[in-house]
């Protein structure tokens, strides 16, 4: 078949995958958003369905007041003796922990914490023992990939933390995963930073503890030298064997907005690359070590059809799976129904690293048309293209002295500018956003008029990671602020049509 990368689009970074029977399961980072760690399943590695989240309770993850792009980093999912484990880092509190479940469709446990530093933790099981690894420095101060044995029931350390590999020479060694394949141990990692120099590297050894010999042609997978190519930042991978004995790397990457426009705002996404083991036991990946947009492979049956999401509405999304809050929400501020949502805004705004009244959906394609009807009798309510508290574009209706204003606001760093104000009589407005690779076009449509009013534009580059920093992607958010007590803004007729 011929498939297109990315296989999961939008802000779903740091993928990790495991297989149970004929089904694959995948988790991704969620940073400051809640619920935490989106969970997917697939039968063919191409089409992924989100089935829930691993962190669904405040007791599992401390997100109150965390900085943007803090919170939940780089999870790993593993399956052992009938139980699923998800291990991750709260980068804000500098804690590594894991949760578990015996029912992948059910709730996950309370966290067990591991007293080892670093980020990007992973688990490896062998002979009744559990090994925990992360990046950082060991107890002797040696930097690299650090490993210890733990008691899986509690997270208690059973051995000294010791560095087992120091990488191939790239900066920011991270994302370790250990596998035993055909009698050898393979240690996969990321180097170069989750930017344009990102890469997948690996080493091989005869013992869990090493020594590990680096692959002579590292990096095994990177797009760092593909100047002008849409797909960049390939790295942070996880190896997986399919149901037919073929191997693959599932990794993160991102799409830049144009051939020579080195900005990306959709976030880090999920990519699939074929892996081939050679006779000497080393493996190669991709097309001459790169991940391509279009992959023609005989490893997947031609009967598999890659599904595309073309339209999203309230009715065909799941509020608990597809939508996210900023940090831990105050539940009484949300009234959610199948075809509408009502939001009570507080004095917490989108400009704060806090929990404003907000529900967000990941933007998955560059080109889209987004429409929503918004009505409020007090305060402010609207729709936002949201990267973080300092970088977001807002379309809002607000009440000021019993007069309703329609505004377009651009927030770029410490510059916060209302670009357009339209006065209207009623409390209801239809907003429309037309998204392109390099630009958002903003409109409103008043109830008594057929033609849209042009509110302005916003360049996507100012919501990109290259400008805003951080590790997230643009969310299409619905929000409210400063409502009177007992007042709720009403959101209906939401559609997001991808071109």
Could you give all domains of the chain from N- to C-terminal order, each with its CATH number?
2-296 (2.115.10.20), 311-498 (2.60.120.200)
pLDDT digits (tens, 9 = 90+) for 458-499: 999 999 999 999 999 999 999 999 999 999 999 999 999 998
CB 132 within 8 A of CB 120: no
Q: Which of 53, 80, 84, 162 is nearest to 118 (CA)?
A: 162
Q: What is the pLDDT along the chain (499 residues), one digit of tens a residue?
A: 999 999 999 999 999 999 999 999 999 999 999 999 999 999 999 999 999 999 999 999 999 999 999 999 999 999 999 999 999 999 999 999 999 999 999 999 999 999 999 999 999 999 999 999 999 999 999 999 999 999 999 999 999 999 999 999 999 999 999 999 999 999 999 999 999 999 999 999 999 999 999 999 999 999 999 999 999 999 999 999 999 999 999 999 999 999 999 999 999 999 999 999 999 999 999 999 999 999 999 999 999 999 999 999 999 999 999 999 999 999 999 999 999 999 999 999 999 999 999 999 999 999 999 999 999 999 999 999 999 999 999 999 999 888 999 999 999 999 999 999 999 989 999 999 999 999 999 999 998 787 899 999 999 999 999 999 999 999 999 999 999 999 999 999 999 999 8
Query: Any idea of the CA torsion for 378, 404, 341, 411, to the nearest 10 degrees?
Result: -100
Residue 378, CA distances (Å) to 11, 309, 355, 483 in order: 32, 35, 20, 5
Upper half-sphere CA count for residue 415 (Cβ side, 13 Å): 5
Q: Which residues contact 69 (CB under 8 A, 6 or more apart)?
A: 31, 32, 388, 469, 470, 471, 472
pLDDT digits (tens, 9 = 90+) for 330-365: 999 999 999 999 999 999 999 999 999 999 999 999
Annotated active-site positions, please? 14, 174
Cα 473 from Cα 25, distance rounded (Å):
23
CA dihedral (55, 56, 62, 68) positive or negative: positive
Q: Which of 352, 354, 350, 357 is nearest to 336 (CA)?
A: 357
């Amino acid at each position: 078949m011929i498939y297109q990368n990315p296989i999961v689009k939008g802000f779903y970074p740091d993928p990790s995958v495991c297989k149970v029977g004929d089904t694959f399961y995948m988790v991704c980072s969620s940073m400051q958003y809640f619920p935490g760690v989106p969970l997917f399943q697939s039968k063919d590695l191409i089409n992924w369905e989100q089935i829930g989240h691993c962190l669904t309770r405040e007791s599992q993850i401390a997100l109150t007041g965390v900085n943007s792009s803090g919170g939940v980093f780089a999870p790993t999912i593993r399956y052992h003796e009938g139980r699923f484990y998800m291990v991750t880092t709260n980068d804000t509190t500098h804690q590594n922990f894991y949760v578990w479940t015996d029912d992948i469709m059910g709730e996950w446990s309370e966290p067990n914490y591991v007293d080892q530093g670093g980020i990007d933790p992973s688990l490896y099981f062998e002979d009744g023992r559990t090994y925990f690894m992360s990046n950082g420095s060991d107890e002797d101060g040696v930097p690299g990939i650090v490993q210890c044995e733990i008691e899986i029931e509690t997270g208690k350390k059973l051995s000294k933390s010791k560095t087992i590999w120091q990488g191939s020479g790239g900066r920011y060694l991270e994302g370790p995963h250990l596998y035993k394949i055909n009698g050898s141990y393979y240690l996969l990692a990321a180097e170069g930073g989750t930017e344009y120099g990102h890469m997948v590297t690996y080493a091989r050894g005869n013992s869990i503890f090493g020594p590990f010999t680096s692959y002579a042609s590292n990096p095994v997978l990177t797009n760092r030298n593909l100047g002008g190519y849409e797909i960049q930042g390939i790295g942070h991978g996880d190896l997986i064997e399919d149901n037919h004995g073929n191997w693959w790397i599932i990794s993160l990457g991102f799409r830049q907005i144009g051939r020579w426009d080195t900005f990306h705002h959709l976030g880090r996404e999920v990519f699939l690359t074929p892996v081939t083991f050679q006779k000497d036991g080393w493996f190669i990946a991709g097309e001459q070590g790169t991940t391509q947009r279009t992959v023609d492979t005989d490893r997947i049956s031609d009967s598999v059809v890659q599904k595309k999401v073309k339209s999203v509405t309230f009715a065909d999304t799941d509020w608990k799976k597809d939508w996210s809050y900023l940090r831990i929400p105050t539940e009484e501020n949300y009234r959610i129904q199948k075809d509408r949502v009502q939001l009570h805004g507080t004095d917490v705004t989108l400009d704060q690293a806090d929990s404003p009244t907000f529900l967000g959906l990941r933007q998955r394609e560059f080109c889209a048309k987004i429409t929503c009807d918004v009505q409020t009798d007090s305060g402010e309510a609207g729709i936002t293209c949201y990267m973080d508290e300092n970088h977001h574009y807002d379309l809002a209706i607000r009440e000021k002295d019993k007069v309703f204003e329609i505004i377009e606001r651009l927030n770029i760093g410490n510059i916060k500018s209302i670009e357009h104000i339209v006065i209207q009589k009623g409390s209801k407005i239809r907003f429309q956003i037309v998204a392109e690779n390099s630009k958002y076009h903003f409109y409103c449509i008043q109830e008594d008029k057929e033609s849209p009013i042009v509110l302005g534009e916003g360049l996507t580059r100012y919501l990109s990671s290259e400008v805003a920093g951080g590790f997230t992607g643009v969310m299409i958010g619905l929000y409210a602020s400063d409502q009177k007590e007992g007042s709720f803004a009403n959101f209906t007729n939401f559609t997001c049509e991808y071109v």
